[in-house]
Structure 1
Amino acid sequence: MTKTNPGNFFEDFTVGQVIEHATPRTITEGDRALYGALYPTRFAVPSSAAFAASVGLDPHPVEELIGFHVAFGKTVPDISLNAVANLGYAELRFHRPVVPGDTLATRSEVIGLKQNSNGKSGVVYVRSTATDQRGDVVIDWCRWVMVHKRDHAAPAPETVLPEVASHVAAEDLVIPAGLDFSSYDFAAAGEPHRFDDYAVGERIDHVDGVTLTDAEHMMATRLWQNTAKVHFNTEARPDGNRLVYGGHVISLARALSFNGLANAQLVAAINGGSHVAPAFAGDTVYAWSEVLDKAETSAPGVGALRLRLVATKGRDESMTLRGEDGKYAAGVLLDLDCWVLVPR
């Protein structure tokens, strides 16, 4: 009998199933350094321990997306090892900053199933929760992923589509304990723009681009212990290309958004997200943002902006999300709806 793990296929999942994912992982300063080497990130809070302490965050937190990638990577061997593609996210909240020394573990509950009409794959919906070494919730989120069937003749399960909120309500955002932007150092942060300088409906072209390489996206994906075959093995896809991990595109877009949103220091929530099109080595990724909403918070000097962060293959100076037919415009790779915290 084989001892290796072939991963779960669509017919292995049942609604209500709870999976405790293996190998908790401890965050180190090495994660911060490698993240900065892989992505052009320059946000002051994760870059400077002194700046972070000046706004009430001591010890020095790492980027929120480091925690997300690690927590997400834990789910891959059980949820998406045999994935066709990761499709989207919703209801993601960052409950507390992650600092070096924190150990993250993740569990998931299957909350929905829907077989595709071709009978060869289906969509699995899960709600995942990452906790730290104290058992405190660090991140929780929903996601849905398309997974191959092992046996195309296996009967389709009853379709269950979970109800997912359109966005995290502003009053449900978790503000890190002690966060205080009332003495915020705009010169150190790199831009003068604050909460009142952004208007709902405004679009910001982040201008810069980064060309994807196989070496970098595979290094990033290994860093998060994401074992999905399509990211590494050219034989896992009919076209012979390694699919770039969608989280890699998210981190690139977030890092590129520094130009125009340098004071969006912390990501508080991801309301929803769609990987609109696949990305491959050789594609050049650009990003733009649209301000969807604004909200006050109870923390001193802290406001929240709800942003649509869009990553594109090639620069789109017109910043077009959808065509007249309602479909995503050519070149759109990522459509991410998130809340960020900025100084007032």
Structure 2
Amino acid sequence: MSKTDPGRFFEDYRLGEVIEHAVPRTLSGGERALYHALYPARGALYSSDMFAASCGLRSAPLDDLIAFHTVFGKTVPDISLNAVANLGYAEGRWLAPVWPGDTLRARSEVIGLKQNSNGRSGVVWVRTTGSNQHGTDVLSYVRWVMVRRRSEGPAPQTVIPDLAPALRIGDLVPPEGLDFSRYDDVLAGERHRLGDYAVGEVIDHVDAVTIEEAEHMLATRLWQNTAKVHFDATQREDGRRLIYGGHVISLARALSFNGLANAQMIVGLNGGAHANPCFAGDTVRAFSEVLETGQTNAPGVGAIRVRLAAVKVTEARDEGYGLKGPDGRYLPHVLLDLDIWALMPV
């Protein structure tokens, strides 16, 4: 009898089931160094203990997306090892900073199921929570994944969760002690603060990065993401390894520094979609649309809601800033459509 685990298939999930994920992960400055090597990440709050201390924190926490990728990676063997695609996100909240030395673990609750009409796959919705060694929740989000069936069979009752279209400013959790009243624009690298951004404004982040196979595979292994489609070229009919969607998220976030350098901390994930597959050799650029701004209850700390898009640069290079065509479907060059809240000095 085989002792190996082939992963879960669609028919293995039960509504209301809570899955405790292996293996706890202790994070260090090593993850930060690798993250900043893999992406052009240079946010001041995550780069400098001195800058973080001037903003009321004890030192520089680990990047917001390090926490996300670590928790996400814990869930892959149980949620998306046999996934066809990761489809979207909602109701994501960063609840507490993650510091070097913290140990993270994750659990997920199955909150929705829907079998596809072809009978060969289905969509699974889970709410995942990451917590530290003290039992404090540091991150929570919903995601939905298309998962293969092991074999054809009767469909479970369809349950699609009712998810909030967006978090409100009052739902956001600024880190305890965060204070931007003495914020240093020069050290942060940009002078634009919350009042300089207008709802509806589109910011082209200018820079572009060509994705390499080796960097993607290193990053995906760094987060202990074992999804087969990212490593095994036989998993797709076209023989190509699919780039981990989180790799595209981090790349777009890092590219957004040019124009949104003062959007220091992601604290909310309202929604998101990996619109089209991304492969090695694709050149990616990013732009953001400002959706909403407001003030938190932390001194000097505002919040900006943006729609962060990552697109593949095509030969024409005249795609503009539209994401969907007249039929409501994402245009072929669109890779990521992410709706986030970030903290910014007022």
Name the CA distance, whole Å, in 1 between partners of 2:183 and 2:318.
33
Deviation, structure 1 residue 95:
0.4
Name the CA distance, whole Å, in 1 between partners of 2:128 and 2:165.
18
Name the CA distance, whole Å, in 2 between partners of 1:83 and 1:317.
30
Structure 1 residue 111 corresponds to structure 2 residue 120: no
Residue deviations 1:280-339 (CA, integer Å, cap 9, x gap): 000011000000001111111111001000000016562112223322223110000000
Q: Which amino acid aligns with 2:135?
A: G
Name the CA distance, whole Å, in 1 between partners of 2:332 and 2:237.
22
SS at match of 2:294: strand
Deviation, structure 1 residue 83:
0.3
Name the CA distance, whole Å, in 2 between partners of 1:326 and 1:241.
27
Which ranges in structure 2 are unaligned for 5 or more consecutive residues? Answer: none
Residues 234-245 of structure 1 aligned to structure 2 (within 5 Å): 234-245=233-244
Name the CA distance, whole Å, in 1 between partners of 2:287 and 2:318.
9
1:320 matched residue in structure 2: 322
CA contact (8 A) 2:276 2:332 kept: no
Name the CA distance, whole Å, in 1 between partners of 2:345 and 2:272.
25
Q: Which amino acid aligns with 1:202?
A: E
Q: Which amino acid aligns with 1:203?
A: V
Name the CA distance, whole Å, in 1 between partners of 2:95 and 2:270.
14
1:135 matched residue in structure 2: 135
Residue deviations 1:198-240 (CA, integer Å, cap 9, x gap): 0000000001111111100110000000000000010111111
Deviation, structure 1 residue 42:
1.1
Deviation, structure 1 residue 59:
2.8
1:25 matched residue in structure 2: 25
Q: Which amino acid aligns with 2:76?
A: V
2:42 matched residue in structure 1: 42
Which ranges in structure 1 are unaligned for 5 or more consecutive residues? Answer: none
Structure 1 residue 248 corresponds to structure 2 residue 250: no
Residues 172-251 of structure 1 aligned to structure 2 (within 5 Å): 172-251=171-250
CA contact (8 A) 1:96 1:174 kept: yes
Residues 45-124 of structure 1 aligned to structure 2 (within 5 Å): 45-124=45-124
CA contact (8 A) 2:115 2:155 kept: yes
1:340 matched residue in structure 2: 342
Q: Which amino acid aligns with 2:34?
A: L
Name the CA distance, whole Å, in 1 between partners of 2:293 and 2:155.
43
Name the CA distance, whole Å, in 1 between partners of 2:84 and 2:325.
26
Q: Cα–Cα, structure 1 residues 291 and 14, in superposed 2: closer, same or farther, change >3 Å?
A: same
SS at match of 1:111: strand
Q: Which amino acid aligns with 2:312?
A: K
Deviation, structure 1 residue 77:
0.2
Which is worse superposed, 80-89 or 324-333? 324-333
Name the CA distance, whole Å, in 2 between partners of 1:135 and 1:210.
38
Q: Which amino acid aligns with 1:290?
A: E
Name the CA distance, whole Å, in 2 between partners of 1:138 and 1:197.
30
1:297 matched residue in structure 2: 296
| RMSD, aligned CA | 0.9
CA contact (8 A) 1:88 1:143 kept: yes
Residue deviations 1:24-77 (CA, integer Å, cap 9, x gap): 001110000000010001110111111111101113201100000000000000
Which is worse superposed, 220-229 or 308-317? 308-317
Name the CA distance, whole Å, in 2 between partners of 1:49 and 1:210.
28
Q: Cα–Cα, structure 1 residues 316 and 330, in superposed 2: closer, same or farther, change >3 Å?
A: farther
Q: Cα–Cα, structure 1 residues 76 and 316, in superposed 2: closer, same or farther, change >3 Å?
A: farther
SS at match of 1:286: strand
Name the CA distance, whole Å, in 2 between partners of 1:304 and 1:324.
32
Identity rate, percent = 65
Report how many residues are paired.
343
Q: Which amino acid aligns with 1:31?
A: E
SS at match of 2:233: coil
Name the CA distance, whole Å, in 2 between partners of 1:15 and 1:316.
45
TM-score by length of 2: 0.98
CA contact (8 A) 1:205 1:317 kept: no
TM-score by length of 1: 0.98
Name the CA distance, whole Å, in 2 between partners of 1:259 and 1:317.
20
